[in-house]
Structure 1
Amino acid sequence: MDALDLARWQFAITTVYHFFFVPITIGLSGIVAGFHVAWVRGHNPQMYKLTKFFGKLFVINFALGLVTGIVQEFQFGMNWSDYSRFVGDIFGAPLAFEALLTFFLESTFLGLWIFGWGRIPEKLHALTMCLVHLGTVMSAFFILSANSFMQNPVGFTFNPKTNRAELTDFVAVLTNKVQLVTFPHVIFAAYMTAGAVVMGVALWHLRRPNLGDNASMYRKATRVGAVVTLVASLGVMISGDLQGKIMTEVQPMKMAAAEGIYESQSHAPFSVLSIGSLDGTKATRIIEVPGLLSFLGHGDFNAEVKGINPLRDEAKAKFTGGKFTSDSSTSYTPNIPTTYWTFRFMMGFGFAGTAASLLVLWATRKNAGEKALAPRWWHWVAVATPFLPLLGNSFGWIFTEMGRQPWIVNGLMTVQHAVSPSVSSGEVLFSMIVYTLLYAALAVVEVKLFLKYVRMGAEAVPEPGHEPEHDDTDAPLAYAY
Structure 2
Amino acid sequence: MDVLELSRWQFAITTIYHFLFVPLTLGLSIFLALLETCSVITKRPAWKEQSRKLAKFFGTIFLINFGMGVVTGIVQEFHFGMNWSEYARFMGDIFGAPLALEALTAFFLESTFLGIWVFGWDRLSPKVHCATIWITAIASNLSAFWILVANGFMQHPVGYAIEDGRAVMTDFFALVTNPYAIGQYMHTLFSGIVTAGMLLLAITAYKILAGGEYRAAFQKVLRGVALYLLVGLFAVMGTGHLQAQQVAHMQPMKLASMEALWETEDPAPFTIFADINVPGQRNNVEITVPYVLSFMVYNAPSGEIKGIRDLQLESAKKYGPGVYMPNDILGLFISFRGMIAMGGLMMLFAFGALVLGWYKKSSASWERKRSNFYVKWFLRLSVLALPLPFIANTLGWYLTEAGRQPWIVVGLQKTASAYSPNLTTGDVFFSLAGFTVVYLVLALAALYSAIRYIRRHPMTPPVIAMPDDDEEGREF
With normalisation by structure 1, the TM-score equals 0.90
Distance 2:280 2:209 in 1: 46
- What's the counterpart of residue 343 of structure 1? 336
Please, which moves more after superposition, 101-110 or 282-291? Answer: 282-291
Question: What is the count of residue pairs matched by the alignment?
Answer: 450
Please tell me whether residue 136 in structure 1 is matched to residue 140 in structure 2.
yes
Distance 1:242 1:9 in 2: 30
Distance 2:285 2:414 in 1: 32
Distance 1:187 1:175 in 2: 16
- What's the counterpart of residue 6 of structure 2? 6
- What's the counterpart of residue 359 of structure 1? 352
Deviations 1:340-394 (A, max 9, x none): 0111111111121111101122233232577545345335422233322221111
Please, which moves more after superposition, 9-18 or 381-390? Answer: 381-390
AA partner of residue 391 (structure 1)? I
Distance 1:25 1:351 in 2: 23
Q: Provide the secondary structure at the position in 1 that maps to 2:262.
A: coil
Q: Retained in 2: the 8 A contact 1:77–1:84?
A: yes
AA partner of residue 373 (structure 2)? A
Please tell me whether residue 80 in structure 1 is matched to residue 93 in structure 2.
no
Structure 1 residues 349-428: aligned runs within 5 Å? 349-368=342-361, 371=369, 372-375=371-374, 377-428=377-428
Identity of aligned residues (%): 40
Distance 1:114 1:158, change over 3 A: same
Structure 1 residues 4-83: aligned runs within 5 Å? 4-42=4-42, 43=45, 44-83=48-87
Deviations 1:40-73 (A, max 9, x none): 2235111011101100000000000000001100
Distance 2:278 2:230 in 1: 35
Please tell me whether residue 109 in structure 1 is matched to residue 85 in structure 2.
no
Deviations 1:169-228 (A, max 9, x none): 11101100101211111111111110111111101111224x34x222111222222111
Please, which moves more after superposition, 419-428 or 277-286? Answer: 277-286
Structure 1 residues 79-478: aligned runs within 5 Å? 79-159=83-163, 161=164, 163-209=165-211, 211-212=212-213, 214-277=214-277, 279=279, 281-284=281-284, 286-320=286-320, 328-368=321-361, 371=369, 372-375=371-374, 377-457=377-457, 459=459
Distance 1:278 1:450, change over 3 A: farther
Distance 1:368 1:307 in 2: 55
Distance 1:49 1:203 in 2: 17
Distance 2:226 2:285 in 1: 34
Q: Retained in 1: the 8 A contact 2:210–2:460?
A: no
Distance 1:404 1:276 in 2: 20
Distance 1:284 1:378, change over 3 A: farther
- What's the counterpart of residue 472 of structure 1? none
Distance 2:372 2:92 in 1: 54
AA partner of residue 70 (structure 2)? L
Q: Provide the secondary structure at the position in 2 that maps to 1:266.
A: coil
Deviations 1:229-260 (A, max 9, x none): 11111111111111101111010000000110
Structure 1 gap ranges (5+): 321-327, 462-481
Q: Retained in 2: the 8 A contact 1:200–1:386?
A: yes
Q: Provide the secondary structure at the position in 1 that maps to 2:325.
A: coil
Cα offset, 1:283, TM superposition: 3.5
Please, which moves more after superposition, 9-18 or 370-379? Answer: 370-379
Q: Retained in 2: the 8 A contact 1:255–1:297?
A: no
Q: Retained in 2: the 8 A contact 1:308–1:333?
A: no
Distance 1:36 1:10 in 2: 40
Distance 1:286 1:208, change over 3 A: farther
Please, which moves more after superposition, 381-390 or 223-232? Answer: 381-390
Q: Provide the secondary structure at the position in 2 that maps to 1:459.
A: coil
Distance 1:455 1:278, change over 3 A: farther
AA partner of residue 182 (structure 1)? Q
Distance 1:55 1:89 in 2: 38
Please, which moves more after superposition, 274-283 or 439-448? Answer: 274-283
Distance 1:374 1:279, change over 3 A: farther
Distance 1:363 1:283 in 2: 46
Distance 1:47 1:128 in 2: 17
Q: Retained in 1: the 8 A contact 2:349–2:382?
A: no
Q: Provide the secondary structure at the position in 1 that maps to 2:422.
A: coil
Distance 1:39 1:329 in 2: 60
- What's the counterpart of residue 472 of structure 2? none
Q: Provide the secondary structure at the position in 2 that maps to 1:265.
A: coil
Q: Retained in 1: the 8 A contact 2:110–2:135?
A: yes
With normalisation by structure 2, the TM-score equals 0.91
Q: Provide the secondary structure at the position in 2 that maps to 1:272.
A: strand
Distance 2:389 2:226 in 1: 12
Q: Provide the secondary structure at the position in 2 that maps to 1:255.
A: helix
Q: Provide the secondary structure at the position in 2 that maps to 1:166.
A: strand
Distance 1:414 1:276, change over 3 A: closer
Structure 2 gap ranges (5+): 363-367, 462-476
- What's the counterpart of residue 469 of structure 2? none
Distance 1:384 1:274, change over 3 A: farther
Cα offset, 1:123, TM superposition: 1.0
Q: Provide the secondary structure at the position in 2 that maps to 1:288.
A: strand
Please, which moves more after superposition, 329-338 or 391-400? Answer: 329-338
Distance 2:280 2:200 in 1: 39
AA partner of residue 169 (structure 1)? D
Please, which moves more after superposition, 267-276 or 26-35? Answer: 267-276
Cα offset, 1:457, TM superposition: 4.2
- What's the counterpart of residue 466 of structure 1? none
